[in-house]
Amino acid sequence: MPAVSLSPVAGAGWQFFDNNGNPLSGGKLFTYAAGTTTNQATYTSSSGNTAHTNPIVLDAAGRVPGGSEVWLIIGSAYKFIAKTSTDVQLWSADNITGIAGAGLIQNFVGTGAQTVFTLSNAPFSENTTQVYINGVYQQKNTYSVSGVTLTFSEAPPITSTIEVLYT
């Protein structure tokens, strides 16, 4: 599973339109290695677990289906080409890389008892991380980070989603 960062093109909640200003229903977003026509994978979430289809076929509202997110492999540059459902090219953008400030995200699931989690990308500290539980930002006094260890003062709830953002 690759390390990914949010795409500045189609990244989160983007809506695509045709040349008349209508949502690009059924439009296609192709992703290639920068400067080429070699397909390059993008991912549906910050976990980098699931690749999008290539091309990504936009929904009726002209958005990326399944959460409206596009994540790029860190260290890779991309070319994007947007086309109508009938393959008429509308635009292209080359040499696109992930948003630097988006950093790297690691996800965990709370067990209701576990307070210590091992980070795969370290060393980091409280000053270089942001922690969210079920989308709610956690104050620095509720956890600590030392090297590869994230420790909560109380166990996150069972089945809670824990996101650690490294900046």
Residues 45 and 85 in one domain: yes
The predicted pLDDT at position 20 comes to 94
Is residue 66 a contact partner of residue 7, using CB atoms and an 8 Å limit? no
Residues 126 and 67 in one domain: no
Nearest CA to 31 among 68, 50, 57?
A: 57
The predicted pLDDT at position 112 comes to 94
- pLDDT tens for the chain, 167 residues long, are 677 888 888 888 889 999 999 999 999 999 999 999 999 999 998 888 899 999 999 999 999 998 788 999 888 899 999 999 999 999 999 999 887 554 566 788 999 999 999 887 555 566 667 788 887 888 888 998 887 888 999 999 999 988 887 75
Number of domains in the chain: 2
Last residue of a domain, one of 99, 117, 151: 99
Pairwise CA distance, residues 105 & 11, whole Å: 14
Residues 88 and 119 in one domain: no
Encode 47-83 in three state secondary structure: CCCCECCCCEECCCCCCCCCCCECEEECCCCEEEEEE
For the whole prediction, is pTM greater than 0.85? no
Residues 72 and 109 in one domain: no
Residues 58 and 112 in one domain: no
Residues 144 and 63 in one domain: no
Pairwise CA distance, residues 114 & 161, whole Å: 13
Nearest CA to 104 among 23, 164, 151, 37?
A: 164
Is residue 154 a contact partner of residue 116, using CB atoms and an 8 Å limit? no
Give how far Cα 76 sits from Cα of 23, 37, 123, Å: 29, 14, 23
Last residue of a domain, one of 83, 99, 115: 99
Residues 62 and 122 in one domain: no
Residues 94 and 15 in one domain: yes
Residues 10 and 92 in one domain: yes
Expressed as residue numbers, the domain containing 8 is: 1-99
Residues 64 and 127 in one domain: no
